[in-house]
A = this chain, B = another copy of it.
Amino acid sequence: MSTLVDDDLWSAVGDPTRRRMIDLLLADGSGTATGLSERLPVTRQAVAKHLAVLDRVGLVHAGTAGRERRYRVDERQLARAVAQLNAVGSAWDSRLERIKRIAESIQQTTEDKE
């Protein structure tokens, strides 16, 4: 019931800037800290730190090509993250469903009393 979730992975995609970075990397296939920072409202250094976080949880991998450090998304790990989003989403969904049914039955009872 306590939703088997990798907190580090969740927290990684919990940050708005990091989510946008993943979007950009997915759109372009790969990217560098400098390139990404040009399309984000933060500095290159901030982007570099976020890339380090994403790298630590395995959501991206880096390759050094000359003076460039090129990052790309790890599809397996992103798929894992998506699976966890869906898992939590459907867990909450079913809770909400249950609450709705209970609420209806209570209303039923109340109506009986009136």
Q: Which residues of A49-81 are within 8 A (CB) of B?
A: 75, 78-79, 81
Judge whether A92 and B22 touch: CB under 8 Å: yes
Chain A: how many interface residues by the 8 Å CB criterion? 34
Q: Which residues of B sit under 8 angstroms from A92, Cβ to Cβ?
A: 22, 26, 78, 81-82
Which of B13, B16, B85 is the one whose CB lies under 8 Å from A86?
Answer: B85
Q: Chain A 16-36, CB within 8 Å of chain B: the 1/0 string?
A: 100110110011010000000
Judge whether A26 and B95 touch: CB under 8 Å: yes
- Rounded to whole Å, the gap between the CB of A56 and the closest CB of chain B is 16
- Rounded to whole Å, the gap between the CB of A101 and the closest CB of chain B is 12
Indicate whether A96 reaches chain B with its CB closer than 8 angstroms: yes
